[in-house]
A and B are shown apart, each in its own frame.
Chain A
Amino acid sequence: MRRILLIAVFFGFLAAKGQDTLNFAAIDQKTYDLYLKADWKGVLRYAKPAFKKDIDYFYLRMRAGIAYYSLGKFMKAIPHFKKALSFNADDALAMEYLYYSYLFSGRTADALAMTNELPQSLKEKLGLVKKKFITGTYAEAGPIITDAADEIDGIDLNSEPDIHGEVETPESGLYVHAGLFLRFSPKVSSYQGFGNVGQDVMQYFYNRPLATPGLPTPPTVEINETYKLKQNEYYGSVSWRAANGLTISPFLHAASATYKKFVGLSPGKRGPINNYAEFRRNCLYAGIGFRKFAGPLSFNGNAMMIKNPDGRSLQVGLGFTWYPLNNTKMYLSPFWSTTSANAEDPNIIDVSAGIQVFKRVWVDGGYTFGALQNYAENNAFLIYNSSDRIINKIRAGMLFITGKFEFSLRWQFTVHEDNYLTVLVPGDGQVEVPFKYNNQNIIGGIKWKF
């Protein structure tokens, strides 16, 4: 009984002490002292229970916000600075902290949307006085390396009983892209870019006509040559900061590929002639995307219509990014897409992750699986409009940020699936035999913010 009484007294004492420490004066004094000592965790140890007890005022919100900011937890600092501004809307220090918290949380659109509300002196301090229309530029380029030729090496397409064999395999190529970042208003910005892909394609064509009684037998045709594929691209997107933390982005990617290749024999005055034809393959990806930040998460998604010579299809995607450290130093980002282009295998899953390894250096990697054909990612900035099907994609990258420049280096490894065609003697029909090959893209990029 006595022990129970002692415990009761002890807990009663603790409860009384707990109540004492949670009055305004104690909280204010304690958090102020800890703030002056830059004991950020200490500030938060007292501030968090105080907010739960409705002890909530400008200075305490500022201390909590600055504590999170100083601990590098910018995403957690944001709501405190916003609340502080709800107590004192014109406080320049709270505005400045909120501006940088947005920037360091990757919420550039929210930071820029504040511009009109900032006092002139703060605008000058942050370098936001001059309204620029062109705010930056971006360029990227890199080679496309493939082992497709090796994969079909040894495949027999021209021996009996085959009467016909065909295969096309990509060879080396080069990708270039450049664009401009534009700003129409603090809440509306845009990216406009143009690109080009140039790739050699090896074409093998074999045809051994069968003899027809009473008629001269046409000659056997065997073509083994390379043609050039050129694809010009336009990409444009508009980013509208619709509400706090919410960005809506319509986008358009148009690509036009042209190439000239051998298509068979044509009768000529002096006998059959090799016949070449020019092809144009136009593709259009148009849609709308969104991103919504909520604490250490950002949800994103898009819906787009895809139109190309294969037909029309619809792609919808949803995903999120989790920032476990409440900043951009580490993230994990799964994204699910489904496309009507491939009814048998419509789902595509992409998982990527990144981490800051040095002060200015980030590394990231990702894996995508599913049928990547007539598919687009990153609000259609990247499109997969080849006639081949990509079944796996692994990527890794590095980003180096210094001042106004961002340098990136990305490596992408894709596993492709294509078919070669053989036709046996009449009656046995034609056979499309699948084969796989691997592509590697190495892309270097430079972003320059004016």
Chain B
Amino acid sequence: MEILKKTIVTVALYLLPAVIVNAQDAKVLQAAFSSSYTHEANAEYSKAIETLKGVYTADSYELNLRLGWLHYLSGLFTESSTYYNKAISLMPYAIEARFGVVYPEAALGNWDKVKNHYLEILKVDGSNTLANYRLGLIYYGKEDYNAAIKCFEKNVNLYPFDYDSVLMFAWTNFKLGKTREAKVLFNKVLLIKPGDTSAIDGLSLIK
């Protein structure tokens, strides 16, 4: 029993420095994050980045995610994309990093990557309305109305009174020649947002 006590004390003594170091690290990290928020609020993005780079470790999801965002804000899109992608590789099933990386990728014009990130998000969370809506918009912009309507339809089923989704669903129906459905949907948009010019434009094209 005495031996057991001794062993526990010995192990505790050995572990103590590591615990103290981790506690110190956590405090340093928290201070760096806190400072970065202050810099960000003051639009001092370079300073915010420098602060986080001082405590950077490549295997930290949080640091990579935050650096991705700050680089995006400072207009360094390729660097932003690199940090976001590191975050994605660290936590492949997290969708927030993918929602982050689409900003710099879109700014770089890499729309295929943007589309793929939304598709990956939908693999994890098939009913994600933001991903569905934005993916629908990409398809709509590329005149792929058959793909677009599936995205908008899913959103409208989940949120029948959502202005953006109902409006885009209406326009996509119109583009596919489904004028009867489009008319009903444009009128529904006018219930959500009376006097909406886009819906009125749509209805004028049907009449």
A residues at B contact (CB < 8 Å): 23-25, 28, 54-60, 62, 84, 86-91, 119
Contacts and interface: CB of A to CB of B under 8 A. Distances in A.
A87 B76 CA distance: 18
Contact of B79 (A24, A58, A86): A24
Contacts of A59: 108-109
B78 interface: yes
Contacts of A23: 76, 79
Interface of B: 74-79, 108-113, 142-143
A58 B78 contact: no
A62 B108 CA distance: 11
Contacts of B113: 87
Contacts of A58: 108-111
Nearest to B138: A90
Contacts of B78: 24, 54-57
Nearest to B143: A119
Contact of B109 (A54, A55, A62, A119): A62
A184 to B, nearest CB: 28
A87 B143 contact: no
Contacts of A60: 108
B79 A88 contact: no
Nearest to A56: B78
Contacts of B77: 24, 28, 57
B152 to A, nearest CB: 19
B79 A87 contact: no
Contacts of A86: 112
A23 B74 CA distance: 12
B79 to A, nearest CB: 6
A55 B45 CA distance: 20
10 contacts: A23-B76, A24-B78, A24-B79, A28-B77, A57-B77, A58-B111, A59-B108, A84-B109, A87-B110, A90-B111
Contacts of B108: 57-60, 87
B76 A25 contact: yes
Given A90-B142, A119-B143, A24 B76 contact: yes
Contacts of A88: 109-112
Nearest to B141: A90
Question: Lowest 5 A-B CB distances belong to which pairs?
Answer: A58-B109, A57-B108, A87-B110, A24-B78, A88-B111
